[in-house]
Amino acid sequence: MSLFSSREWWSTRLGTAEEFDQGSIAIANIDNDPNGNAKIITGSLQGMLRVHLPHQRGYHVEDMLLETELEGSILQLAAGNFLGSSSICLAVLHPRKLAVYALQAVGSSYLQHSKIYEHYLEHTAANMATGPFGGIAGVEHIVVQSYDGQLTFFEQEAMAFSRFLPSFLLPGPLAYAAASDSFITSTAGLELVAYKYSNLAAASGSKEQQQQQQQAGGPPAGAVSGKRIQADWTVVLGEAALDIRTGRITANTRADAPADILVLAEHTFFVLNLQGQLLLQRRLDYHPACCWPFPAGPDSSSSSSSATANPNQQQQQRPPENLLVATHTKALMVYRGQELAWAARLEMLPVAVRVAALEGMQGMIVALDDTGKLSVLYLGSEPPKQSVSFAESKQLDYAAMEAERKALLTQIKAAGGAGWDPAATAPAAAAGKGAAAAAKDLVLRAQVPSRLDDADRIVREGGEGPPGSNADGVAGFGAAGGAAAAGVKQLTVTLLLSNTTKSSMKDVSISIQVPAPVVALQQQLLLPELPPSSSSSSSRGPGEPLAVQVVLQVPAGSSIPAANTAEVVACYRSADKQLQCSQLALQLPMILFCQVIPPVKSAEYKVTVATNRDAAQLVALFGDMLVQAHPAHAEALSRSQAANVMSFHFGGGQEVTILVSKNAGRYRLQADSFAAMWLVLQELSRRLAGHFAAAEAKPAAAQQQQQPPPFSITFEESLPLQDVFELVDRHFALRAALAAANEALEQREVQFRSVQKRLLVRYKDRNAAPLNQLDVLMEETYDQILDLATQMEQLQAELLAAGQALGAGVQLLLLLTRFRFKLAAEESELLRCALSPVVLEGPEVSWEETTEAAMTHLLRSALARSAKDAAAAVPPLAPAADTARLKKHISLVLERLSKGMRLVAGSSSNNGGSAAAVAAH
């Protein structure tokens, strides 16, 4: 609970589709209750008059004392002694009428109103003010300001006189200062003007008014003619005034000190004395909505409520007052003089605020917004609802606690978990693993085709593509050729879900994560219900799994992939409402990323691997790729089968060629891109392992007396570290360039805002000053911001491509490291975790920093040469200044692996190139 928030004590909604304004509320003892309870009177622009008396927290039906519809819109309400007696009446201002009502209590549940008198207005009214005009004690008069600048004075049932204000354009707020017997208003010229009541009474109307009176047969009864209207004083504000109030804001210890004039403007509030001299001024950092002065001290609310009923009689006895300001940012500010004393957050945007005593509670804030929400608020925090009590201490029953622990452990084991048992930690963990394996009630399988979808099945971004064309409008090769090479490649994977339980699974969510540049058209699927596989349904028979199709696409011109594995995760709730997940890894086919083309001679990068078997025919290894090749390419490849060479073309234009030695089982990969070779090398190693494993598993091969050694792949050359380091430097340089562009953009934004502020000051200055080329500087700064934003977009795209190329280069380095040092599958996986091919971008720390930390950890743990190296402290993760340390640590890790050190203690290096290890990666 925040201390700086307003607390709602009582609230209600006033009707529906009604509008309210600044003068739509008044607080007074309007029914002259002997107990002096203040009531909240509201009037809407739709003409509804309501009176409320909150009795307790929260709105109740009995809180509304009156709800009636008057004739015409209600512009303003005022409570005062308008009859010359001690009773308080209600003045209601309509656009063309002023009415005074008396409200009497009928029983204790509601009020009734009766009209005392009314005056029809010659001009459309804007606002009004009340007070003892002329210093007459015991009675209050009313003045109404019209939209054309006419002030009409009413003394009870009679209209006294009317005057037109000079140089009038638009009406402003109107207030009456009893101490000086003057009226204060604002003009369209952003000025504050004061008129003495005596001067207005002695002056005559304008020439237009006199002509109108002559045409009507003479001036009305009580009208007085005299000299021109002269302002008592005028002060230039320079801003439009929103509200004008009177109160004692400045510090003055004299009890008879006159009141101050408070003016709330658009960006400033002013405090002036009755002679028009500026006492203090405060610039506001927000847009104010309304204000209300209230006396400070323990009797503030009572003074405020009584002053609301008869503000002028209490003027000389008021203590120093605070100023309450509501803002358009839904905040409530309390000012003590020129200082901000308190600020609180509101849940509404009020158009009027008041401070009153309600039900004996002092300082309650009444707020009304323009839609009719009426709230009674207070500041501070809620009192605690319950007192903190300390329970009596008692002796702990350890035997009962141990029995409860054993009972809970039994329930955990029965549910398939592995609770902690001090007596049998290892057996419980083993049992827990078996239970977790048996708890996989949802079995995930996948059918990944080795051929692309036909061209007429390619799905566009907005729907199905036309038959015989892909998403780019290029015709495909039909069922034999698959999708067109120049267009989008599409592959439809079928997921098979089997529910092995006896009850249906609810809310099965399937998420698919694919590597770039592959795009899953449906990244997330939701199945409301998955029936058991043993039950039969309308769509599938008993024992058949549920088939869900996932469409994968690779756009034309895509970059080199950094991975070829997709992850599928299915989350569901079991019968006991527990959330469980099943995971499946999909090996995406090679045809999704590249296609076979006639042999090319690009040889900028070369890698040669050797096997312990005779050379295999590439046509047999990549038969699925040849089937989907372009007809012209397939014909060219058939003519070059004797050479045993094959080239692959990626979507981004990279080309990789495989050359097979005629005399030994050696395979050379050459390409124009270093990063493009990893996928071809991985597919070659996997297909070679599967090819020779299938050949040696035949019965004829099993009958041979001499069993051949396990299939293995070796790499005898030096590791291409320099090529990988070039990719690292490229990625790091783009990161630095992006950070520099971002910093430059922030500087230009600060400069742009500074120039804007200076221009606004120049434009608002009444004494025009030269711009000094500030407008030119602002335009040039804006152009620089646009250029930097465009540059950042380009750098972000380049950084993404460089990250994918770096991941592909790391994949190739990991493959060659495994072949070079004959790493076991466990060691290879540990090295992959440390030297990760997944490049994640961060605002400060990215792949370079995390990889350097992982390499440092390997050098100080598994690959430590001495206990001193293992005991060295690991530095904290921080942004790197360059890549020198990273490249040094990667070289040290590979150097120690070359010297026979292993990542796993006791691992053998003889099985690193076996068929099982090769096929696993």
> How far is C-alpha 167 from the geometric centre of its chain's CA atoms?
51
Q: Within 13 Å and on the Cβ side, how many CA atoms surround 377?
A: 25
Assess whether 615 and 577 both reside in one domain: no
Assess whether 768 and 879 both reside in one domain: yes
Assess whether 776 and 877 both reside in one domain: yes
Q: Give Cβ neighbours of residue 752 (< 8 Å, ≥ 6 apart).
A: 778, 781, 782, 785
Predicted local confidence at residue 636, as pLDDT: 67
Q: How many whole angstroms separate alpha carbon 662 and alpha carbon 691?
A: 18
Assess whether 665 and 554 both reside in one domain: no
Handedness of CA 198, 180, 263, 282 (dihedral sign): positive
664 is a domain residue = yes
80: DSSP letter = E
DSSP reduced 3-state for 73: coil
Residue keyed to tokens 């008592």: 232
204 is a domain residue = no
Inter-helix orientation angle 847-859/884-898, to 10°: 40
Report yes or no: 495 and 547 within 8 Å, Cβ to Cβ. yes
Burial of 414 (0-12, 13-18, 19+ CB in 10 A): exposed
Assess whether 777 and 886 both reside in one domain: yes
Predicted local confidence at residue 1, as pLDDT: 38
Paired tokens of 810: 């790391």
Q: How many whole angstroms separate alpha carbon 419 and alpha carbon 432?
A: 8
Return the number of other C-beta atoms located less than 10 Å from residue 867's C-beta: 7
Tell me which of 681, 715, 749 is where a domain ends: 715
* Regions of the chain short of the pLDDT cut 70: 1-3, 205-227, 252-257, 297-319, 381-394, 415-440, 460-486, 534-543, 602, 634-643, 698-707, 768, 869-874, 906-921
650 is a domain residue = yes
Instruction: Give me the CATH number covering residue 147.
Output: 2.130.10.10
Tell me which of 130, 164, 198 is where a domain ends: 164
Domain count, the chain: 4
Assess whether 612 and 563 both reside in one domain: no
Assess whether 636 and 770 both reside in one domain: no
Cis-peptide, bond into residue 219, ω within 30° of zero? no
Q: How many whole angstroms separate alpha carbon 352 and alpha carbon 289?
A: 8
Q: Which three-class secondary structure string do you get for 396-422?
A: CCHHHHHHHHHHHHHHHHHCCCCCCCC
Assess whether 752 and 840 both reside in one domain: yes
238 is a domain residue = no
66 is a domain residue = yes
284 is a domain residue = no
Paired tokens of 435: 């239970």
Tell me which of 557, 592, 627 is where a domain ends: 592
Assess whether 814 and 867 both reside in one domain: yes
Assess whether 728 and 663 both reside in one domain: no
Q: Which three-class secondary structure string do you get for 640-690?
A: CCCCCEEEEEECCCCEEEEEECCCCCEEEEEECCCCCHHHHHHHHHHHHHH
For residue 36, what are the domain limits? 20-164
Residue keyed to tokens 């004996």: 360
Q: Where are the alpha helices (DSSP H) in 542-604?
A: none
460 is a domain residue = no
Assess whether 733 and 864 both reside in one domain: yes
Predicted local confidence at residue 177, as pLDDT: 93
What's the whole-model pTM score?
0.52
Predicted local confidence at residue 385, as pLDDT: 52
Q: Which residues of 579-613 are buried (b: 16+ CB within 10 A; e: fewer)?
A: ebebebebebbbbbbbbbbbbbeeeebebebbbeb
Instruction: Give me the CATH number covering residue 586.
Output: 2.60.40.10
Instruction: Give me the CATH number covering residue 627.
Output: 3.30.310
584 is a domain residue = yes
Q: Give Cβ neighbours of residue 761 (< 8 Å, ≥ 6 apart).
A: none
Name the strands in the sheet holding 191-196, side by side, starting at the edge strand that comes first in the sequence.
174-177, 182-186, 191-196, 233-236
Residue 353's nearest CA partner among 399, 290, 267 is: 290
Assess whether 681 and 763 both reside in one domain: no
